[in-house]
Amino acid sequence: MDVHISQSRVRGRTRAPPSKSYTHRAILAAGYSDEAVVRDALVSADTEATMRAVRAFGGSVVRDGQTIDVEGFDGRPGTPDDVVDCANSGTTMRLVTGCAALGENLTILTGDESLRSRPQGPLLDAVFDLDGRAESTRRNGQAPLIVGDGLSGGTVEIPGDVSSQYITALLMAGAVTDEGIDVDLTTELKSAPYVDITLEVLDDFGVEAVQTDTGFSVPGGQSYRPVGGEYSVPGDFSSISYLLAAGAVAGADGESVVVEGARPSAQGDKAIVDIVRDMGAEVEWDEDAGELTVSVADLSGTTVDVGDTPDLLPTIATLGAIADGDTVIENCEHVRYKETDRVTAMAEELAKMGGNVTEQQDRLTIHGGDTDLVGADVDGRGDHRIVMSLAVAGLVADGETTISGAEHVDVSFPNFFETMRDLGVDVTEA
């Protein structure tokens, strides 16, 4: 699907979608439990992949709107009747790899072409070191994967600079092993707030897990039981980033954009609030009400380390193309291993719109002072975050911007374009 966006001014009140990161973890945690209800869940292509996996392991998942009623497999996944298709969801594949490793028999995990190109090797090595079976069918550390043979727990080393999801997978599975799992990190942990999210969800489901001097530890023999049998998902700050950015660069004069559902949580991407402020936008955050209010402003370039917030890179790059001066995005090599290489994607797509961008392996510099954005035909690269960031750029570009592959917003923000239209954006779909 293509979408066409013309210069627009935004105003009004809207609501952020629920967090994709929390929803994934909550659905799988409910699967590990005897039964649990997940409320205010994000229902998207990615989270539906996690629901399919829970069903494949023997759980029952019944959805009514944003409420998901799960009868779980009580800590011991059954053997799937068929291959488990994780579609485009890297979070599903990695978290489910840990779960599949608990199975007495074997599970085959696969996904679409993009997911089959993403690295899984360190997690497979960790499962093997914990006496489970974990293999890539192509012996290249990428899906399809064969996983199982009853992981029992123990101590394992794993790098922390490839994906924090490896640690999440091991912690979630380790809680129901006999021995528990101690994870010792061999490199600096990147995307650390995502492990904080995991620890928060585990705690809400009654599972103890802690950070140690060398990594993380989860005792075995635990059960997943949320208080009252229910868990509610908070709003998503990765998605909020596009709404804040839209208000900051294209807000109507004298008016503002109010984003509901912005309650504080462990999400690292809440850093977008301070980033937008540092660039010169006026942002008020009523944390008790969970409301962010942003008004248009002349932005200035800044320097941002995205080691812990990789999903913000596309949004920051777009803001940098509109701001005056240089915006430098540092520590971003790991952002190359997402649905697409987001560093190159943003460099190339912004360049099509007139952006002056310098790309290095671990750094992206956007020369906003030398950039005048113009409408162009750009490629969403099959990546929801690239699509939404380019849509924000289209709000201020001179002329019409056409984004191909716009349907991929279904991964995390299914009603993104409807939301933008409600805020006053001139957007059409074809």
Q: Determine the pLDDT at residue 331.
A: 97
Q: Determine the pLDDT at residue 169.
A: 98
Cis peptide before 414 (omega within 30 of 0): no
Token digits of residue 371: 């950039």
H/E element holding 71?
A: strand 67-71
8 appears as a binding residue in the annotation: no
Residues in the chain: 430
Helix, strand, coil fractions of the chain, as percent rounded to 5: 35, 25, 40
Active site positions, annotated: 311
Angstrom distance (rounded) from CA 174 to CA 320: 42
33 appears as a binding residue in the annotation: no
DSSP E strands in 114-238: the ranges are 133-136, 145-148, 154-158, 181-185, 210-211, 215-218, 230-232
Ramachandran sector of residue 150 (left: φ over 0; alpha: ψ -120 to 50; beta: rest): left
pTM, 2 dp: 0.87
Backbone angles phi, psi at 188, to 5 degrees: -60, 140
The answer to whether the CB of 233 falls within 8 A of the CB of 18 is yes
Amino acid at 195: V
Q: Determine the pLDDT at residue 67.
A: 98
342 appears as a binding residue in the annotation: yes
164 appears as a binding residue in the annotation: yes
In 84-191, which residue ranges form alpha helices assigned H by DSSP?
90-100, 121-129, 164-174
Other Cβ atoms less than 10 A from the Cβ of 63: the count is: 15
311 appears as a binding residue in the annotation: yes
Q: What is the pLDDT of residues 155-203, one digit of tens each?
A: 999 999 999 999 999 999 999 999 999 999 999 999 999 999 999 999 9
Token digits of residue 287: 């944390």
Angstrom distance (rounded) from CA 300 to CA 412: 29
Other Cβ atoms less than 10 A from the Cβ of 95: the count is: 29
Best CATH choice for the domain 3-17+235-429 from the list 3.65.10.10, 3.10.20.740, 3.30.110.30, 3.30.70.270: 3.65.10.10
Other Cβ atoms less than 10 A from the Cβ of 282: the count is: 15
The answer to whether the CB of 298 falls within 8 A of the CB of 324 is yes
The answer to whether the CB of 162 falls within 8 A of the CB of 137 is no
CATH number corresponding to 20-232: 3.65.10.10
Q: What is the pLDDT of residues 257-282, one digit of tens each?
A: 999 999 999 999 999 999 999 999 99
Domain boundary assignment for the chain: 3-17+235-429, 20-232
21 appears as a binding residue in the annotation: yes
Please list the ranges in the chain whose pLDDT falls under 50: none
270 appears as a binding residue in the annotation: no
118 appears as a binding residue in the annotation: yes
Domains 3-17+235-429 and 20-232 share a fold: yes
| Three-state DSSP state, 407 | helix
Token digits of residue 33: 């439990």
20 appears as a binding residue in the annotation: yes
